[in-house]
Amino acid sequence: MNKPVPAQSFAVLLQRFFTEHLQQHRAVSPRTIVAYRDTFRLLLAFAEKALGREPQHFLLTDLNAKFILAFLDYLETERKNSPRSRNARLAAVRSFLKYAAHHDLSALDCIQHALAVPMKRFDRPLPEFLSREEIQAILDAPDTHTWCGQRDRALLTTLYNTGARVSEVLRLTARDLILEGTPAVHIHGKGRKQRSVPLWRSTASLLRSWKRRLNTSGAHDCLFPNRRGTGMTRSNVAQRLSLAVARAARDHPRLKTRTLSPHSIRHATALHLLQSGVDITVIALWLGHENLSTTHMYIEADLSMKERALQRLQPVGAKSTRYRPPDQLMQFLATL
């Protein structure tokens, strides 16, 4: 059993939270470590201004519900964080408080009140989806006669085929590809979860060609490097996608009015799989969704689009064709 840490040793407790709990016991990803670290850097900097207390002298009891609410308000009003970012910061603080509750029983009452601070609810608007024609135009836009163009087409096609997050695709190496037999790619997803996604023959052919060109240009650790041979960043991918969209917009003017990101391709993959009759549980596995409720968003989007399309087909002035129950049925339901 761990020896309780004195309440005044918040600095020691926080260090143990990162070095022992997160890194050793839970073995979380480096990205999670960075996200949690940034949260506490912001929190301690805010505490220094709000309480006039240096980080080394911050107490666990200072991390009470009132202080946390003030910190969250600061994130939204002064730093202009979205509710989603605000909730991510709160999740990091909650994780620390749950750890602290096992090591400092004297602060348990304060911790319980702090853990009661709720996540902020926010609207989740359905994203606009790319049609198959628009996606194909974007994939065909890069000039494959150039090194960058061939890489971009292979990169964007892989994003669409796998529905992977951009961070997952940027971590791919040549060893993650299986191009013989049944083509597939091994993706290292969030939470250290791995999944295998099948590749279309056209994607496999494109990746074979890109892999040959990549091998002749020097050794690379990543499948999609930049010109310097190092890994691309999210901003690099977003920039290359913008160039492809600009070219594709010549034949599809609607693309000029869209704000697209690499994640838009992931959304398109999910919806197109759904429209092709793929079961939602398979789509969840394909995308690496831990919770099936996340995948249900695409069902809602698909049904709403079908309804809008049906309304467009109705003649002007026609009455709605929605089913309306007879009065007797309505009376029956009213008596329940």
β-bridge mates for residue 188, sequence order: 194
Q: Do 292 and 199 share a structural domain?
A: yes
Domain count, the chain: 2
Q: Do 153 and 265 share a structural domain?
A: yes
Determine the average pLDDT of the residues in 59-65.
Answer: 94
Is residue 329 predicted with pLDDT exceeding 70?
no
Q: Is residue 32 part of a domain?
A: yes
Q: Is residue 329 part of a domain?
A: no
Q: Do 63 and 163 share a structural domain?
A: no
C-alpha–C-alpha distance, residues 194 and 175, integer Å: 14
CATH code where residue 199 lies: 1.10.443.10
Q: Do 172 and 303 share a structural domain?
A: yes
Confidence of residue 70 (pLDDT cuts 50, 70, 90): very high
Q: Do 288 and 150 share a structural domain?
A: yes
Given this model, what pLDDT does residue 305 score?
57
Q: Do 187 and 64 share a structural domain?
A: no
Q: Do 148 and 251 share a structural domain?
A: yes
* Mean pLDDT, the chain, whole residue set: 86
Render pLDDT for 208-264 as a digit per residue (tens, 0 to 9).
999 998 875 554 578 999 988 888 999 999 999 999 999 999 999 999 988 899 999
Q: Do 34 and 155 share a structural domain?
A: no
Active site residues: 165, 190, 263, 266, 289, 298
Q: Do 176 and 99 share a structural domain?
A: no
Determine the average pLDDT of the residues in 197-202.
Answer: 93
**Domain carrying residue 68:** 10-115
Is residue 298 predicted with pLDDT exceeding 90?
no
Render pLDDT for 72-130 as a digit per residue (tens, 0 to 9).
999 999 999 999 999 999 999 999 999 999 988 888 999 999 999 999 987 766 667 89
Given this model, what pLDDT does residue 153 score?
97
Given this model, what pLDDT does residue 284 score?
87
pTM recorded for the entire structure? 0.67
- Helix/strand/coil (H, E, C) string of the chain? CCCCCCCCCHHHHHHHHHHHHHHHHCCCCHHHHHHHHHHHHHHHHHHHHHCCCCHHHCCHHHCCHHHHHHHHHHHHHCCCCCHHHHHHHHHHHHHHHHHHHCCCHHHHHHHHHHHCCCCCCCCCCCCCCCCHHHHHHHHHCCCCCCHHHHHHHHHHHHHHHHCCCHHHHHCCCHHHEECCCCCEEEEECHHHCEEEEECCHHHHHHHHHHHHHHHHCCCCCCCCECCCCCECCHHHHHHHHHHHHHHHCCCCHHHHHCCCCHHHHHHHHHHHHHHCCCCHHHHHHHHCCCCHHHHHHHHHHHHHHHHHHHHHHCCCCCCCCCCCCCHHHHHHHHHC
Are the CB atoms for 69 and 115 separated by under 8 Å? no
More confident residue, 21 or 277: 21
